Amino acid sequence: MQEMEKERYELNKNLAQMLKGGVIMDVSTPEQARIAEKAGAAAVMALERIPADIRAAGGVSRMSDPKMIKGIQAVVSIPVMAKVRIGHIAEAQILEALEIDYIDESEVLSPADDKYHIDKTKFKVPFVCGAKNLSEALRRIVEGASMIRTKGEPGTGDIIQAVRHMRAMMSEIRRLQSMNEDELYHAAKELQVPYDLVKYVHENGKLPVVNFAAGGVATPADAALMMQLGAEGVFVGSGIFKSGNPMKRAQAIVKAVTNYNDPKILAEISEDLGEAMIGINEEEIQLLMAERGM
Amino acid sequence: MALQGGFIEHIRHLQSLEADAFEIRKKTDLHREMDGLILPGGESTTMGILLKESDMFDELKLKIDSGMPVFGTCAGLILLAHKIAGTEITYFASMDIVAKRNAYGRQLGSFYTEAELKGIGIIPMVFIRAPYIESAGESVEILSVVNDRIVAAREKNILVTSYHPELTSDNRVHQYFLKMIT
């Protein structure tokens, strides 16, 4: 049984590897899912309301209606992900029953448990979780996450938090890398994670799972910035379907992730995209979703 | 090809065999000297779109059809298939096989096994939302069969596997591909 679980976890990490260099787009209707796939999305995230609308509407936000998720699964051939509330085991079981390709245990929804995250090792389907520093990322991995993304600040169109989280993660990874082996025990204590994970990061200079950027990506340049800071791919939520020309912007962000190191191409694809989502600045928002689930 | 997906894993395997490799992201990359091409796993729709948008498609198809050795894994197999079941869309269409996409279902259908690749022996096979080959033309040599489905094949200069040798520590399939080049 132990072996089987380990094998399943490897397969789940492997799926994330296949998403690398790709863009995962939030969609709330089959029609949007089709647009995302046609624009070159590597996967879609099915949710009833995109983060900007959740922010605007307020109230409790929950897992999406299974019918809506199934409707999206039916029209695209790329992987379909969906979100559950932090700690909501039953919502995760429901998504597993739908054979979802990836579950996002997400701070975008209202948390269901203010202490415990889901024990993700009990599931066969893979989980992606948000993190704003290395300590959070490694804790989620201990709990069974097979993919990590920055939390950023969803639904704002403001990239500053995603940048902050990615930079924090990368600089902590570099710090572990440069440590003497006998210092790692103390580092594990500080980070509140098992020693073997700390040792892995020390030896490999990276997380043991794929690490994407998320939260606040609105332009091709934002996506390229996150890739240059070390993201292996990008989630785009409200940035696409809250903009003036979703198809064109989605295509441009897909190309930006492939060509993140080529300013000439980035200049070409950033041209004439119509209006970007208006967004909200960090200091103007009242609800910091990134503070949910530490 | 480094448009999207698991290309770094392929490059590491090639490096472990002391072969030089570089990433192809844009048209000017095609002007570098190359003896072979790997089409990695990832999402075939994403790669297909980026191939055409980046204006690399025609040039690469010409190279493949004029005999340059190509190795496609998973999505790469789909890009090379002459026909994809259930759709009229094709990409390079250079190999006489019919590919079935997501043939084992969603992620819960992904699996690991060990089976034979003709000419190499028993190898580890990782299937991730994998396709299989529904049917193959007469000139296609079938290399692996798992659960009665064709999952690896070769036709002249083209090698395809629906599983991912690049996700295991076994580099013998890459060694096999390098032999096709020299």
Its ipTM equals: 0.93
Give SS3 for B136: strand
Which two three-digit tokens encode residue A156? 């704002």
Taking the CA atoms of B66, B67, B70 and B72 in sequence, report the sign of the dihedral they define: positive
Question: Residue A292: what pLDDT?
Answer: 84
Residues 9..48 of B with a Cβ closer than 8 Å to A: which?
9, 25-26, 41-43, 45-46
d(CA A100, CA B59): 38
- pLDDT, tens only, A94-132: 999 999 999 999 999 999 999 999 999 999 999 999 999
Residue with tokens 């559950």: A84
Partner-chain contact A41 B164, CB within 8 Å? no
Question: Residue A4: what pLDDT?
Answer: 85
Which two three-digit tokens encode residue B111? 């699996």
Q: Name chain A contacts of B25, Cβ cutoff 8 Å.
A: 258-259, 262
- pLDDT, tens only, B63-91: 999 999 999 999 999 999 999 999 999 99
Nearest to A137 by CA among A210, A224, A240, A223: A210
How much of chain B, in percent, has pLDDT values that exceed 70? 100
Q: Name chain A contacts of B5, Cβ cutoff 8 Å.
A: 18-22, 42
d(CA A291, CA A111): 11
Residue with tokens 């096979």: B125
Query: 3-state SS of chain A?
Result: CHHHHHHHHHHHHHHHHHHCCCEEEEECCHHHHHHHHHHCCCEEEECCCCHHHHHHHCCCCCCCCHHHHHHHHHHCCCCEEEEEECCCHHHHHHHHHCCCCEEEEECCCCCCCCCCCCCHHHCCCCEEEEECCHHHHHHHHHCCCCEEEECCCCCCCCCHHHHHHHHHHHHHHHHHHCCCHHHHHHHHHHHCCCHHHHHHHHHHCCCCCEEEECCCCCCHHHHHHHHHCCCCCEEECHHHHCCCCHHHHHHHHHHHHHCCCCHHHHHHHCCCCCCCCCCCCHHHCCCCHHHCCC
Give SS3 for B7: helix
Q: Are strands A234-236 and B141-146 parallel, antiparallel or unpaired?
A: unpaired
Between these two residues, B107 and A60, which has the higher pLDDT value?
A: B107
d(CA B154, CA B52): 25
Element (H or E) spanning B172, and its range? Answer: helix B172-181
Mean pLDDT to the nearest integer, B138-147: 97
Cβ atoms A12, A146 nearer than 8 A: yes
Nearest Cβ partner for A18 among B42, B45, B53? B42
d(CA A38, CA B125): 30
Q: Name chain B contacts of A227, Cβ cutoff 8 Å.
A: none
Question: How many other C-beta atoms are found inside a 10 Å radius of the C-beta of residue B34?
Answer: 16
3-state helix, strand, coil in chain B (%, to 5): 30, 30, 40
User: What does pLDDT average to over chain B?
Assistant: 96
- pLDDT, tens only, A149-158: 999 888 888 8
Given a cut of 50, the residues of chain A with pLDDT beneath it are none
Nearest Cβ partner for A262 among B26, B41, B46? B26
Partner-chain contact B26 A265, CB within 8 Å? yes
Side-chain-side CA neighbours of A292 within 13 Å: the count stands at: 21
Question: How many other C-beta atoms are found inside a 10 Å radius of the C-beta of residue B137?
Answer: 12
Query: Is the CB of residue B112 less than 8 Å away from at least one CB of chain A?
Result: yes
How much of chain A, in percent, has pLDDT values that exceed 90? 80
Question: Residue A289: what pLDDT?
Answer: 80
**Which residues of A are the active-site residues?**
83
